[in-house]
Amino acid sequence: MKQMRMNGGLLSSKNLSKWLLILLPVVAAAYLLWPTFSYYQLNQEREALVKDSAALEQWDAANGESFINARNGRLKLGLDLRGGMYVTLEVDVLKLIEESADPTSIDEDFEKILDKTRKETDNTDLEVLEAFLTNFRASGKSLLQYFTVSNQADPTEASIEEKLRRDADGAVSQAMEVIKQRVNKYELSEVNIQKQGARRIVIELPDVKDEKEIRSLLQTTARLEFKRVTMNRELIRTFMAIDNLLKGVKIDTAAAVDSMTLAKVDSAKVDTTKTDSAALAANKDTAGKKDNPYAGLSDEEAQRRFKRDYPFSHMLGGYYAQNDKSSFQPFDLVLKKVEDFPEQGVYRFVINGKQLPQLLKILDRLDVKRIMPTDLDIVVSAKPEGTPAKDGTPEIFDVYGVVREADLTGDVVTDAYPSFDPASNQPTVHMEMSSEGAERWAQITGANIQKRIAIILDGRVYSAPTVQNKIPNGSSQITGSGSPEEASLLAVVLKAGALKAPVKIIEERVVGPSLGEDSIRRGVSSSLMSFALIILFMLAYYAWGGAIADVALLMNVLLVVAGLAGFGGTLTLPGIAGLILSTAMAVDANILIFERMREELYAGKTLKVAVEQGFTKAWSAIIDSNITHMLATIPLLVWGSGPVKGFAVTLLAGAIITLFTAVVITRAMFGLIVNSGATTINIGQKRTV
């Protein structure tokens, strides 16, 4: 009898699957929400050290990676809860069309077509170019009267329409790329940039403190430049000078410093007995050598001193090749004097993506800019090398030395588009220039054959191709793109100087942190009150059955929030409303089940049969109500934006999880009770029956 009772208990082996159904989702939710809990714990520690820069640096060294991982995996809060700036930009495609036309050919008829198109498309999401072309055809005019195609001697109406469409599509992509780079430069975390409709861009900027600076940032014209790459010994000398400055070595900055005067900086001040991180790894092999100042130190202490001695150079990795065709070999940036580095050859410098913000901060310092040569600038690639790895491998960015003054600016570029090289079938980019630009481009390319020219947009390098020959007519083919997507991006960047489509702010909302905190407080309070009312009602009306439903309800909320965190979703104030509504739907499913079970119990069925029949007969009604629930959210997800989409996301997630918690979880709980030997349970049925 004792053995039989054990087999029928709650912890019997046949109940194992039911326990797993209940506990595994809870464990999974805890795993997904752990980064959120960890982030807020670490963030409190970090904020307590903000005023102590030395302690903050030590904390970042010890906990920086954990803090970043937790921040990336945490549940994100929307602007209405967190505070920040919400901006809607509109690209003025009609202005682009006007700027693309020949200024000498624009007449009153052309201006009337522009005015009519603007009236039709203002405050709408209509395709501006299509409306313009429709009005243009209705006027009986020919596009050939007003537009030309730079790379065609005999353009047609179709070729002009194709160019205008290409430019209009590229205007929004170009604006988005410029905004992304500018926002990244200002280190605004978790910015959401999305295209909305045909010509609008929606930007969400959390934690923004200076709205005026952001407005200027978003509306400033893009700066496209072509600069010669100068990767040589003088660049290494500059790295050493920055190290000296950051260490406190005095450098005369009374006058502007060029490459010749920088060469006079006393190289003895650069302690060449230090070693780099690669040499530190071999510290044990050199522990007894006098030229190793880190001999006998622990790896942690050696690394700390090395970073102190080389605050700038320790972040860089150096590679050298005798020419473009030979393979690159790594070399140490320290251990040598500047004169020991080859004067001829090809240099390459790279930096780990995690250290890139620190390097950019150093380069932006006023005292660092003062010691920089007047004919040299240090810039970084806009994109990491190759395809970003998904296994946590750090991204690698290239660091370039370029001439300070641009050899050519982007306003001479008239067109750029991606294509394929028929000989190699590799993606390429074709670039066209104006007559003035073509003449200057011929001089630049002719004087720099087998040298590199960097294509720079807003201070970041997108490509640095090698000049193969003199280009006399301004029509260039740029090879080396790793993929069609990379070629398309480069074409977008090149057109930053050619496209004359201004960007204007048409909507702007600012939510202060205090208002966000108040929203969180009110949202949490209203949610708790709603949950409390539902829980109390279920307990009062369905007794023990209601208690089971309440447990499933709490699991429903936990799984929805964990799902948002796990899939990178954002919780907004409307999202909280959707969460409350989804919990009401979850209880509705339980009510259907309980009423069916009560009917079976009224008919004199056993508890086991009543449970089975209750879930079976209520299933069709539950699935119908939840499917209609999900279908109602689809239009909100597809056509909604901002708060509407946030509401729809949590509503849909709640409907899906409701099917799991209200049916699977509650059934597993009732199964445990039945298997324990219970013959009755109070779910609100009359005791006299």
Rounded to an integer, what distance in angstroms lies between the CA atom of residue 661 and that of residue 26?
11
Does 581 share its domain with 653?
yes
Rounded to 5°, angle at Cα 547 from 543 and 552: 145
pLDDT at res. 511: 73
Lowest mean pLDDT among 89-103, 255-269, 311-325, 654-668: 255-269
- Within this chain, do residues 245 and 206 fall inside the same structural domain, yes or no? no
Q: Is the pLDDT of residue 567 over 60?
A: yes
pLDDT of residue 188: 54
Alpha-carbon span 157 to 151, nearest angstrom: 15
Domain boundary residue, one of 402, 435, 458: 402
Q: When comparing pLDDT for 262 and 502, which is higher? A: 502
Asked if 534 and 591 touch (Cβ cutoff 8 Å), the reply is no
What's the confidence (pLDDT) of residue 1? 34
Would residue 685 count as lying in a domain?
no
**Neighbouring-strand partners of residue 455:** 226, 463
Most confident of 226-235, 414-423, 560-569: 226-235
pLDDT(13) > 70: no
| Residue 107 included in any domain | yes
Residues 91, 160, single domain; the answer is yes
Confidence at residue 3, expressed as pLDDT on a 0 to 100 scale:
38
Q: Which of 164-178, 399-413, 509-523, 655-669 has the lowest mean pLDDT?
A: 509-523
Q: Which of 645, 520, 521, 530 is nearest to 586 (CA)?
A: 530
Model confidence pLDDT, tens digit, residues 137-165: 888 888 888 887 766 667 788 888 888 88
- Coil, helix or strand for 343? coil
CATH number assigned to the domain comprising residue 419: 3.30.1360.200
pLDDT tens profile 410-436: 878 888 888 888 777 788 888 888 888
pLDDT at 205: 79
Q: Which of 251, 252, 259 is nearest to 235 (CA)?
A: 259
Looking at the fold, whether 94 and 185 belong to one and the same domain comes out as yes
Taking a C-beta distance cutoff of 8 angstroms, is the pair 50, 468 a contact? Answer: no
For 118, 172, 419, 488, the CA distances from 433, given in Å and listed in that order, are 30, 21, 17, 18
Q: pLDDT band for position 515 (50/70/90)? A: low
Considering 384, 402, 420, which residue would you say is the last residue of a domain? 402
Domain membership of residue 71 (yes or no) is: no
| 3-state SS assignment for residue 526 | helix
Q: What is the C-alpha to C-alpha distance for residues 379 and 375, in angstroms, rounded to an integer?
A: 13
> Buried (b) or exposed (e) across 606-644, using 16+ Cβ within 10 A?
ebeebbbbbbebbbeebeeebeebeeebeebeeebebbe
Domain final residue, candidates 366, 382, 402: 402
Structure confidence at residue 169 as a pLDDT band (50, 70, 90): confident
Mean of the per-residue pLDDT values for the chain?
78
For the stretch 238-293, pLDDT in tens is 998 998 888 876 544 333 333 333 333 333 333 323 334 444 444 334 334 445 66
What is the number of domains present in the chain?
4
Q: What is the pLDDT of residue 497?
A: 64
Q: Does residue 301 sit within a domain?
A: no
Q: Parallel, antiparallel, or unpaired for β 377-381 and 460-463?
A: parallel
Same domain as 423, residue 320: no
Q: Work out the pLDDT band at 399, boundaries 50, 70, 90.
A: very high
b/e code 72-92 from CB counts within 10 Å (16+ = b): ebbbbbbbbbbbbbbbbbbbb
Vertex 99: Cα angle to 171 and 430 (nearest 5): 55
* Per-residue buried b or exposed e for 313-338, using 16+ beta carbons within 10 Å of the residue's own CB: bbbbbbebeeeeeeeeeebbbbeeeb
- Quote the CA–CA distance of 118 and 110 in Å, as a whole number: 12
The pLDDT confidence band at residue 23, using thresholds 50, 70 and 90, is confident
pLDDT in tens, 439-473: 899 999 999 998 899 998 888 898 898 898 998 88
User: Structural domain of residue 351, as residue ranges?
Assistant: 231-274+310-402
- CATH number at 192 reads 3.30.70.3400
Nearest to 114 by CA among 87, 95, 86, 90: 95
Angle (CA) 104 107 111, round 5°:
120
Per DSSP, what are the bridge partners of residue 510? Answer: 85
518, 658: one domain: yes
Looking at residue 454, what is its pLDDT? 92
Residue 342 placed within a domain: yes
The answer as to whether 41 is a domain residue is no
Q: What is the mean pLDDT of residues 530-552?
A: 85
Distance of CA 550 to the CA centre of its chain: 38
Domain membership flag for residue 303: no
Judgement on whether residues 156 and 216 belong to the same structural domain of the protein: yes
Q: What is the CATH classification number for the domain harbouring 8?
A: 1.20.1640.10
Round to whole Å and give the CA distance between 328 and 39: 41
What is the predicted pLDDT for the residue at 374?
Answer: 86
Rounded to an integer, the average pLDDT of 173-193 is: 71
pLDDT of residue 560 exceeding 90:
no
Provide mean pLDDT across the span 54-81. Answer: 78
Q: How many residues are given for the chain?
A: 689
pLDDT at 151: 61
Alpha helices in 297-399 (DSSP H): 299-309, 356-363, 366-371
Query: Is it the case that residue 341 has pLDDT exceeding 90?
Result: no
At 500 the pLDDT is 63
Categorize the per-residue pLDDT at 499 as very low, low, confident or very high, splitting at 50, 70 and 90.
low
Residue 285 confidence (pLDDT): 43
387 & 523 share domain: no
- Domain-embedded: residue 494: no
Averaged pLDDT for residues 558-578: 82
The arithmetic mean of pLDDT across residues 99-116, rounded, is: 86
| Range name among 85-94, 462-471, 585-594, 679-688 with the lowest pLDDT average | 679-688
Same-domain check for residues 248 and 197: no
User: Do 157 and 212 share a domain, yes or no?
Assistant: yes
Query: What is residue 227's predicted lDDT score, i.e. its pLDDT?
Result: 93
- Both 583 and 562 in one domain: the answer is yes
Give the pLDDT mean for 623-641: 81
Q: Are residues 616 and 658 in the same domain?
A: yes
